[in-house]
Structure formats: C-alpha cells, structure tokens
Amino acid sequence: MKNPYLEISHIGIEFATDGEPFRALQDVDLSIDKGQFVSLIGHSGCGKSTVLNIIAGLYEASEGGVILEGREVDKPGPDRAVVFQNHALLPWLTVYQNVELAVKRVFRKTKNKAEMHEWIEHNLSLVHMDHALHKLPGEISGGMKQRVGIARCLAMQPKVLLMDEPFGALDALTRAHLQDSLMEIQTSLGNTVIMITHDVDEAVLLSDRIVMMTNGPAATIGEILDVKLPRPRNRLALAEDADFIHYRQQVLEFLYDKQKNPQIEKKPTDPARKLQEVACKPASSQDDAAGDTGKAATGSNKTRAA
C-alpha cells in the first residue's frame, strides 16, 4: 500500500506542571493525502492547536510522531508553513517585506532577485493585496493582515499549509471574503491544508474531511467526516443544499450532543479548575492567542473525564 502524504502516527503529549504532568493529547492518529483540505474542529482547549503545533514542529510530541513525505518531522521548517490566528506579521516590515523575508529564506538558492520580486508580487496578488505592497501592517485592516499572513505562507510553497483559526479574529463579512479567497487559491494551487476552526459552517464549506476531536484532557480524534460536496462550492447555493445541511448537522451533533461543551456543564467554582488552568499553561500560550474570549476557560473538564 502507498504511504500517505502526511501521517500523524499515534501522537500524545504531556506538559510538565507543578503537580502531576498534564496529558493534553492521547493517541491521535490521522493520515492525510496530498491536496486534501482537512479541518480540525472541537471545543476550546481540546488540543487542536497542540496537534497543529506538533505537525509544525513547534512542539515535540511525548510519544508517536509525524511523517511528511516519508520523513519524520523533528523541527519547524518552511515546508510546513503556519498561518497564525493573529497574522503574526512583523509590524516593522511592510507587506512586501514581510513576504520577502519568507521568500528570501526559502528560495535563496533557487531564485534570483527578479524572480523573487515577481514571486512576492504574484503571491500578494493571489490574496488581492497587490495594491498595498508598501504599507505597514499597522496601516491595514485585520482582514488584510490575515491575507498577507496567508500570502507569506503560500509564498513558501509549503508541502502542508497549517492554519490555526486563521479567520477566528475577523468579523463575519471579512471572514466570508477570506474563505472565498482561500477556496479560490486552493482550487488553483491544490495545497494540502490543515485548518483549525470553531466554525461549523466554515469547516463544511472548505473541507474535504472534518476531523472532530473529543474533549480533553487526553483528547483524541472522535469522528472523521468526509465531505463529498462537489467543488467549486458556492456558499449561497450550499445554504439550502440538503447534503450541506446534513454534513453540518452531523458536526453539530458531535459537538453539542456527543461532546457537550464542558463550559456549560461545569460550575465556574470548581476547585479542580484552578489546577487545570495551571496545567494548561504550556499549551495555552499559543493555543489561546488573544482575541477569542470564548476560549478563556481552557479545559475545565478534567474531573468530568476522570
């Protein structure tokens, strides 16, 4: 049998805490084919971002490993570009220079100056940002910043594009625009994408597969849903499409029935909660980037699982 393009093999991770170590992930096992668009969905604090960070090489798994095109991932690298929730553009560089930093690094041996220039402009025009090349990130809107963040990653020609709630901090209209742009780019480039999301509609609209994660601690994959909607997809047409509604229903059922939101179930005065928050610190430094207050109560469901 042919090896999968990206194999996430039985990964688990434990974070050191003051007390007993906190197990965030347990036995996450997933294979992804080239060109697939995969969404990770789950409640806050279930370790979605941790999975992404392990694939990116930013965290090291306690057990198991990630294999990309037959090679084990052991450190971060430009072949696994990450789109961060809060764009993570360098505020002192212009839009152009931000992309240039990545392009210079990745293509320093294969492209000359003129080719690099062309490549930077090409990628920025893919995300419709070619009108603001010489603006600083502080001078453009949040949606535009995220477009540049995506362009920076696309320009690296990654084997896998990792997106950590890329549209989470944007308003609904901007989000829809960017989703459409992303679909357009995905159609033309055929990238392999792993995206974390909270948004069920977004997951169904964009993904070939939706990976639903159980609640932590020791979170793992609960169900995988194959979305077999034809592409190109149109959000207006799909809104009343029976298949779309069905897929949507399945994800909602998983999230709100099988894996009830721990925050609703638990009282905020739970004594285990404090320990829990300490325990989650190493993960949450990246997991809970600012801008998403809903994620504040990270993993307050320890007692429930135990």
Partner 1 sequence: MTDLAAIFRNEQGIARFSISQLSSIARTVGKTLALPLAGILIFLMLWQGVANNIDTSLGQFPGPVQVWEQSKGLLAEHQREREKAAAFYQRQEDRNAKRLAQNPDAEVKIRSYTGKATFLDQVITSLYTVSFGFLIATVIAVPLGIICGLSEKVYQSVNPIIQTFKPVSPLAWLPLVTMVVSALYVTDDPMFEKAFLTSAFTVALCCLWPTVINTTVGVTSIDRDLVNVSRVLQLPSLVHVRKIVIPSAIPMIFTGMRLSLATGWMVLIAAEMLAQNPGLGKFIWDEFQNGSSDSLGRIMVAVVTIGLIGFLLDRLMLILQKRISWDKQAILR
Greatest CA span in the chain, whole angstroms? Answer: 61
Cis previous bond, 4, omega within 30: no
Angle, alpha carbons 256-12-157 (nearest 5°): 90
Nearer to partner 1, 57 or 64 (CB): 57
Size of the site for partner 1 (CB under 8 A): 27
Assess contact for 46 and 213: CB atoms under 8 A: yes
CB atoms within 10 A of CB 55: 24
Least distance between partner 1 and beta carbon 103 (Å):
10
Assess contact for 24 and 216: CB atoms under 8 A: yes
* Binding region for partner 1 (CB under 8 A) out of 86-94, 114-122, 208-216, 267-275: 86-94
Amino acid (1-letter code) at residue 41: I
Q: Express the helix, strand and coil content of the chain in percent, nearest 5 each.
A: 40, 20, 40
Assess contact for 36 and 292: CB atoms under 8 A: no
Q: Which residue of 56, 120, 193, 205 would you call a contact of partner 1, by CB under 8 A?
A: 56
Instruction: Assess 81 for contact with partner 1 (CB under 8 A).
Output: yes
Q: Which residue of 19, 70, 138, 271 would you call a contact of partner 1, by CB under 8 A?
A: 138
Least distance between partner 1 and beta carbon 35 (Å):
21
Least distance between partner 1 and beta carbon 120 (Å):
14
* Binding region for partner 1 (CB under 8 A) out of 113-121, 201-209, 226-234, 281-289: 281-289
Assess contact for 99 and 75: CB atoms under 8 A: no
Strand-pair partners of 31: 7
Least distance between partner 1 and beta carbon 92 (Å):
3
Instruction: Assess 222 for contact with partner 1 (CB under 8 A).
Output: no
Nearer to partner 1, 36 or 286 (CB): 286
Chain contacts with partner 1 (rule: CB under 8 A): 56-58, 75-78, 80-82, 84, 86, 88, 90-93, 101-102, 105-106, 136, 138, 156, 285-286, 289
